[in-house]
């Protein structure tokens, strides 16, 4: 009995460090929303770290399963926005961004803590209706495996995690470090998302950038040595197949073509 109480006490003590700080209140779990403007609201979840301990956030609309290998960020709704500016944001979703997959969409909050590091929070799953774009096979398979569940991916809390604050702490949950926006990562190693695979058909007339633009500084003097040691890119998960061409080789030319080619024999 004493051991059981000790285990419960330990779990209670660790809970604030395992749960998220941002709780998305809208869109609700299982909601069906048309493409266009999607309003997002959130609140403090009541567990550490508090919203007051966070400075900025990047908000993205994502389609796919629970693992990073089956997820594709579609739209960046807010980039390096200030938490002090309020608790609402708007995602402008184009009709061709993806296909309308039931409960295949969720929001990803990547927040920067004032003490260092990031925390990634996810909303519940919902559906964006009226879409006519294309969603990858891996993403569709990831959603199908959930059997209609509306729970979003697991929170990744890397607050005050030293040199790996921008991504290293996410390794334990199966590659979520690759979903942290590049400009929010810190440490000696940075992580880049999986390179997209071109579709077999072009089905959209309008396009949007995969990632937001980033600030830059024009060098007028010698710059300091780069602090980044390496960049790791998520491995591709798609596969290809090939087959033998069984068609017989074409016969030698005849007639005028044979005479023409014969002129060059010497």
> Residue 177 maps to which CATH number?
2.60.40.10
Q: Does 248 reside within a domain?
A: no
Measured between alpha carbons, how far is 120 from 166 in angstroms, rounded to an integer?
10
Total structural domains in the chain?
1
- Contact assessment for residue 88 and residue 159, using Cβ atoms and an 8 Å cutoff: no
- Residue 183 has a pLDDT of 73
Q: Does 242 reside within a domain?
A: no
- Residue 86 has a pLDDT of 92
Report the predicted TM-score, pTM, of the whole model to 2 decimal places: 0.60
Distance of CA 175 to CAs 171, 179, 191, 204, 230, Å? 5, 8, 10, 30, 17
Measured between alpha carbons, how far is 67 from 195 in angstroms, rounded to an integer?
16
Q: Does 206 reside within a domain?
A: no
Stated as kind and residue range, the H or E segment containing 138 is helix 137-144
Residues of the chain with pLDDT under 50: 1-20, 161-174
- Tell me how far apart the 2 most distant CA atoms of the chain are, in Å: 100
Handedness of CA 40, 41, 47, 50 (dihedral sign): positive
- Residue 3 has a pLDDT of 38
Q: Does 25 reside within a domain?
A: yes
Domain of residue 27: give its range: 17-198
- Residue 62 has a pLDDT of 95
Q: Does 244 reside within a domain?
A: no
- Contact assessment for residue 65 and residue 143, using Cβ atoms and an 8 Å cutoff: yes
- Contact assessment for residue 129 and residue 102, using Cβ atoms and an 8 Å cutoff: no
- Residue 160 has a pLDDT of 61
- Residue 87 has a pLDDT of 94
- Residue 18 has a pLDDT of 39
Measured between alpha carbons, how far is 50 from 40 in angstroms, rounded to an integer?
19
- Residue 201 has a pLDDT of 81
Phi, psi of 236 (to 5 degrees): -70, 145
Q: Does 179 reside within a domain?
A: yes
Q: Does 235 reside within a domain?
A: no
Q: Does 5 reside within a domain?
A: no
């Amino acid at each position: 009995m004493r051991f059981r109480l000790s285990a419960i006490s330990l779990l209670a003590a660790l809970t604030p460090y395992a749960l998220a700080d941002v709780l998305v209140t809208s869109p609700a779990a299982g909601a069906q929303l048309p493409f266009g403007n999607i309003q997002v609201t959130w609140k403090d979840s009541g567990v550490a770290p508090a919203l007051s301990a966070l400075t900025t956030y990047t908000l993205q609309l994502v389609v796919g399963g629970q693992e990073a290998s089956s997820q594709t960020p579609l739209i960046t709704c807010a980039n390096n926005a200030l938490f002090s500016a309020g608790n609402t944001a708007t995602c402008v979703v184009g009709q061709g961004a993806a296909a309308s997959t039931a409960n295949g969409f969720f929001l990803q909050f990547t927040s920067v803590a004032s003490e260092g590091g990031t925390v990634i929070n996810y909303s519940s799953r919902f559906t964006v209706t009226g879409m006519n774009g294309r969603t990858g096979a891996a993403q569709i398979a990831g959603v199908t495996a959930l059997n209609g569940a509306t729970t979003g991916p697991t929170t990744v809390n890397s607050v005050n995690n030293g040199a790996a604050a921008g991504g290293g702490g996410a390794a334990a949950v199966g590659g979520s470090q690759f979903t942290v926006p590049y400009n929010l990562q810190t440490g000696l190693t940075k992580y880049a998302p999986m390179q997209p695979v071109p579709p077999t058909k072009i089905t959209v007339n309008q396009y949007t950038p995969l990632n937001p633009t980033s600030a830059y500084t024009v060098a007028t003097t010698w710059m300091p040595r780069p602090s980044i040691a390496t960049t790791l890119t998520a491995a591709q998960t798609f596969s290809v197949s090939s087959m033998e061409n069984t068609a017989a080789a074409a016969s030698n030319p005849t007639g005028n073509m044979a005479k023409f080619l014969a002129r060059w024999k010497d």
